Amino acid sequence: MQSPDYKKRLKLQLIFILSIAVMSCGVPSVPTALSSLLERESIRVGTVYGAGTFYNGAEGPQGFEYELLAGFADFLGVTLDLYPFYSYEVMLEQLEEGNLDIVATGDAVSPSLKKRFAYGPAYQHVQQELVFQAGMSRPRDLLELDAPIIAVAGSSQAHLLSRLLESLGDKVSDDESVETKTQLITTEDSDSEELLQQVANGDIAYTVADSNRLALQRRRYPNLAVAKTLDEDMPMAWALPLHQDDSVKAALIEYFGTVHQSGWFTVLEDKYFGHIRQFDYVDSRAFNDAAETTLARYKPLFQKYAGDLDWRLLAAMSYQESHWDSDAISRTGVRGLMMLTLDTASDWNVDDRTDPEQSIRGGSRYFASLLNRIPARISEPDRTWMAMASYNIGMGHLEDARVLTERQGGNPDLWVDVKRRLPQLRQKKYYRTTRYGYARGDEALQYVENIRRYYDSLVWLDEQGKI
């Protein structure tokens, strides 16, 4: 939640932007697009459903685009009126007809769309990937495809493919020795995430997805493979009506500048995408298989001893620690499902570290105690990730990383800043200045990021009724 002083400062900035926009029109009495929505006290935004855009989760509305949009509405001091659409084209028509102020699809901007709409500043860049099912023959070129490519009608992928296939057609017509049967089929019955699922299940052969959506889906369907990158650098931006004045665009530029400068955008991006950028096919496949088989043996115990924790988070930690092997033992002597040391086991009344119930009970209570030791001012989910890092390397080393973060101008209360300093704990020029010295901080970082991926997968598998 932003402070009153922060909101007051943003309001003053907005008034300044509006004044500049009005003066640039030369006729102060003519209302601008920005003044109209401020007077209305609401901003009407079109979007589409999706894990990276907007959905109604257990705790209310969620999604990367949703949080950005809610932040912009708060920046303007107006209500966010969000209208989810099932059709890209219908949504864009509503923008053209003046029924929406902004369209935020989490989709990339294609050259053809730039002719129809104005755009705010680019806030991300994505790759567009031709996706097929791992294990099938990998096509090296669009000319080699033996089945149609399915894409969402009106999406950036459909626009990109139309342009590429048109250029292929020109090539074929110039060289009679070249043949292609490559076809594009567009659909409004499935969204991009569903098309990726259909590729994973073998229902369709090919689709095209941006790197954000692919990363989100690959943790669920690790057999999604990239055949070819079709575009390496497409911008993501919010669409605006083409012929309106620049006042809303100016406010967007100021807003994105503010959230980047404050670090909030980086925090939000890390929340949704930071832990899934790296992909390991073998690990993801093995985890999903174990979740659907081995986990059932221990699920009642995770639920019994989770307390205020989400049992799926506790289970994700256990998989990272032991791969749900109750007899697991590490080179350092920690043992069991939650990989407890002898001292930790003694502190939490665990007599047999290989006993599943004792291990889960002790590990859960130990982790809860670490959470309670994280300063109360640190909000979720940052406090959970920091407590998790301390479960791996100890609270003292976590505090050393937080001290390094503050020394280097970062925010010691933000995980996105602290995690950048964890690897420094094994570099002499840094750890010799800390209280607790050397630690394998890079392993602690990977430990947390792995658990975040496992947890996301468990939440999804649980929602699908697969665990």
For residue 439, what is the DSSP state?
-
Q: What are the CA-CA distances from residue 182 to residues 35, 133, 201, 262 (Å)?
A: 49, 17, 21, 47
Q: How far apart are CA 76 and CA 2, in angstroms?
A: 13
The helix or strand, by DSSP H or E, that contains position 207, with its residue range, turns out to be: strand 206-210
Backbone angles phi and psi of 201, in degrees to 5: -85, -5
Distance CA 343, CA 350 (A): 10
According to the model, what pLDDT value does residue 1 have? Answer: 41
Upper half-sphere CA count for residue 128 (Cβ side, 13 Å): 22
User: Chain-centre distance of CA 436, in angstroms?
Assistant: 33
Helix (H/G/I), strand (E/B), else coil: 317: helix
Q: Which residue has the tokens 């995770």?
A: 302
C-alpha atoms less than 13 angstroms from C-alpha of 347 in its C-beta half-sphere:
11
pLDDT at 16: 53
Instruction: Yes or no: say if 188 and 152 are a contact pair by the CB < 8 Å rule.
Output: yes
Tokens describing residue 393: 């390397």
Position 90 scores a pLDDT of 92
What sections of 180-238 are H helices per DSSP? Answer: 192-200, 211-218
* CA dist., res. 100 & res. 90, Å (int): 11
pTM beyond 0.85:
no
The pLDDT of residue 227:
93
CA distances from 165 to 142, 168, 219 (A): 8, 5, 30
Per-residue pLDDT of the chain (467 residues; tens, 9 = 90+): 444 444 445 555 555 555 554 444 454 456 899 999 999 999 999 998 887 788 877 667 888 999 999 999 999 999 999 999 888 889 999 999 999 999 998 899 988 899 999 999 999 999 999 999 988 989 888 887 889 999 999 899 999 999 888 887 655 554 554 455 678 999 988 889 899 999 999 999 999 999 989 988 887 888 999 999 999 889 999 999 999 999 999 999 999 999 999 889 988 888 888 777 777 777 888 898 999 999 999 999 999 999 999 999 999 999 999 999 999 998 778 899 999 999 999 999 999 999 999 999 999 999 999 999 999 999 999 999 999 999 999 999 999 999 999 999 999 999 999 999 999 998 999 999 999 998 999 999 999 999 999 999 999 899 888 99
Give every CB contact of residue 190 below 8 A, 6+ residues apart in sequence.
150, 152, 198
> DSSP assignment, residue 110?
P
Angle CA(447)–CA(451)–CA(454) in degrees, nearest 5? Answer: 140
> Looking at the DSSP assignment, which residues form a beta bridge with residue 130?
208, 228
Instruction: Provide DSSP, 126-155.
Output: EEEEEEEETTSPPPSSGGG-SSPEEEETTS
Query: Strand, coil or helix: what is 182?
Result: coil
DSSP string, 289-349: HHHHTGGGGTHHHHHHH-TTS-HHHHHHHHHHHHTT-TT-B-TT--BTTTTB-HHHHHHTT
Which residue(s) pair with 234 in the sheet?
Answer: 126
DSSP designation for 108:
B
The candidate with the shortest Cα–Cα distance to 157, out of 90, 52, 234, 215, is 234
The DSSP bridge partners found for residue 43 are 80
pLDDT of residue 14: 57
Q: Quick one: which H or E segment has residue 227?
A: strand 224-236
The span from the first CA to the last CA of the chain, in angstroms, equals 35
Residue 213 in tokens: 């959506």
- The pLDDT value recorded for residue 332 is 75
**339 conformational bin, left if phi > 0, alpha if psi -120 to 50, beta if neither:** left
Active site residues: 321
The residues, ordered by sequence, that sit 6+ positions from 338 with a Cβ below 8 Å of its Cβ are 317, 318, 321, 322, 359, 360, 362, 363, 364, 366
Q: Report the alpha-carbon distance of residue 255 to residue 72 in Å, rounded.
A: 7
